Structures are given as structure tokens and as C-alpha cells.
Structure 1
């Protein structure tokens, strides 16, 4: 005789509609980042959006922050830590956004050149004109405009 185990239903945490409580930011120094709970002190990801998990992490690793008893003091510290975390995250995304913007600018210029029927070699002349204008208007952004690729090969590839 074979023994058959009953089918066990697994709980789906995603279906329980757990939500991040904004008060946790200053009580436990955590933030909701991309639908994850992140500790602002040690930058660890805390599993699940449950107060028990957040409190356990805080009590086991960051008890020294309990000396800040005033809510205003805790709120300003949490705000400082949160802005620090977002600055760290932007450090990696900003260059990617600049590269993406340079590519989109190059595509836009190539599109205009194709509509006007201009020779592909004119891309270098257009870039030179753009750089001359930028140097006079906003010299601090010249490096961003230098990264726009408008060589003959690039223009040919983008138009095709």
C-alpha cells in the first residue's frame, strides 16, 4: 500500500497585500525602495513587508540608535540616511542616463539629416556647431555634448 501525502498549499506573500508603513522610516530606519524594504543604516534588504521582520532586524543589529528618543531627531536622521541612499543609487544611474541622452540626441540629429537629404559627412559639422553653441551658452555641459556620436559611420548606421 502506497502512502500519498496530501497536497500542501503554499502561501503567496505577494497576494497578502502587505504595504510599507511610512512610520517605519523613522521608527526602524528603513525605506521602501523599488518595492523592497531596505535598511537605511546597513543597506540590507529586509524580507517581507511585515513590521515583525523590520523590528527584529532593527533590534538585533541597530540597538545603538535607540538613544535617539525624540521623534523629530529620529525623523531628521532617517531623512538624512534616505537621501544618502538615493544619492548612492544615482551615482550609478546618472552616467547611464547621460549616455542614453547622448544616444537619443544623436538619433534625433540623424533623423533630421535623413529627412533633409543631407550627406552623412555633415554630422561632424553639426556636432562642431552644437559644441560651439554650448561652449558659449553653458560651458559646464560641454562634456555631455562631446559624447554625442555623429561620425559618418554612426550617421550611416542610424539612418539605415
Structure 2
């Protein structure tokens, strides 16, 4: 009889560790994998009501002391800002690096080179970049963009196939 009570307890603890959607409005946390992430400070915590509540009350005392309507308004604006920021950053970086990847694939196919040349190009760009952009203020950003550009053999193959579909 004792073992069945223990099993029940394990099942209940598993249920309480799932993200609860009402935490977003009340405490300003969103679900990210198996963790809860605070939209106010980007802190992570386990998915447990007590942990989420404790984080909110200790790290965001100034918000916690405001009225419930003001809390909801601040949390909603932080959530809106987070969504806008992550969307714009991902869109900008992805579009530029994808465009560069398509351009490299086009050059590779025009010169009848193997698809692995994309990796060679990336390595060459990364080797040249520090000296080429030494006097640029945003040199590190440029190098990071080169690192983020997808030029693997499979990516080049996919890019070439997509480019071939669009040829008329």
C-alpha cells in the first residue's frame, strides 16, 4: 500500500513541473524547452509554481509592489518588446546570411566546383577577415556574420537545387 502512495506522489510532481500558461500573465515567464524564462530579466527557472513565484517576488520587487493592473501592463509590454526584438534580430541575421549563402552557391555551381567548396570559402573568408577589416569599428560583427553564414556541403546542395527550380 505504501508503494502505491509513492507512485501517486511521483506522478503528481511530474504534473506540477509542466509550464502553466497563466504564469505568463501573472509572473512574466514564458516556456522555453523544459524551463521557464523571465521576460523581464531573461532569467531561467524550473517549471514549478513556487520557483516562478519566488523568482518574481525576489528579483522584481518593484513590479511586485505595484497594483495588479500595473503589473499586467508592465509584463505585457516586456513580452511585446521581447517578441519584437527576437523577431527583428533573427530576421535580419537570417536574411543576410541566407542571401550570402545563395550567392556563394551560385558562384560554386557556375564554376562547376564541388559542393564542399562552401566550407573552403568560409574558412578562407574567416582567415582573411581580421586583416581585411582591421580598421572597421564593427569588425567583430562582420566576422560573426561570416561564421553564421551556412555554407556546409548539404546547405550548398539545397541552395543549388532551389536556384535550379527558379530558373526559367
For the aligned pair, the TM-score class normalised by the smaller chain equals 0.3 to 0.5
Bigger CA radius of gyration = 1
Q: Greater share of helix residues, 1 or 2? A: 2
Question: Normalization by structure 2: what TM-score?
Answer: 0.46
TM-score normalised to structure 1 length: 0.48
